[in-house]
A and B are shown apart, each in its own frame.
Chain A
Amino acid sequence: MRVCSLVKRPSEKVIKICIDLSVSREGRCVVEGVQVTGDFFAERPERIDRFIESVRGADAAGVDWVRLIRELAADSRIYGVSDSSLEELGASVSKAVRKACGGGTLA
Chain B
Amino acid sequence: MRRIRLVIDEGPPHYQMAVDEAILLLRGAGVSPDTLRLYVFNPSSVTIGYFQSLRESVNLSYVKEAGIPVVRRVSGGGSVYHDSCGEVTYAVILPAGDLPSDYVESFKLICEGVVRAARKLGCNARFAPLNDVVSADGRKFSGSAQARRLGAVLQHGTFMYATDVETLARCLSVPKGKYSESDVVNAIMRRVTTVSACAGRPVSRGEAIQALREGFAEALDAELVEGRYLPAELELAKSLAWKYRSGEWLELRP
Contacts and interface: CB of A to CB of B under 8 A. Distances in A.
- Asked if A pairs with B, the answer is yes
B136 to A, nearest CB: 18
A37 B53 contact: yes
A43 B148 contact: yes
Contacts, number: 47
B146 interface: yes
A51 interface: no
Interface stretch (B20-28, B44-52, B210-218, B220-228): B44-52
Interface residues of A, number: 17
Contacts of B129: 11
Interface in A63-107: 79-80
A36 to B, nearest CB: 7
Nearest to B129: A11
B52 A37 contact: yes
A41 B253 contact: no
A13 interface: yes
Contacts of A45: 50-51, 76
Contact of B78 (A12, A16, A39): A39
Contacts of B52: 37-39
A41 B148 CA distance: 10
Chain B contact residues: helix, strand, loop or mixed: loop
B253 A37 contact: yes
Nearest to B148: A43
Interface in B215-254: 253
A80 B76 contact: yes
A35 B56 CA distance: 13
A57 B203 CA distance: 56
Contacts of B131: 80
B53 A35 contact: yes
Contacts of B147: 41
A79 B105 CA distance: 12
Given A13-B130, A41-B147, A42-B76, 13 more contacts: A16-B53, A35-B53, A37-B253, A38-B52, A39-B49, A39-B57, A39-B76, A40-B51, A40-B76, A41-B103, A45-B50, A48-B51, A80-B130
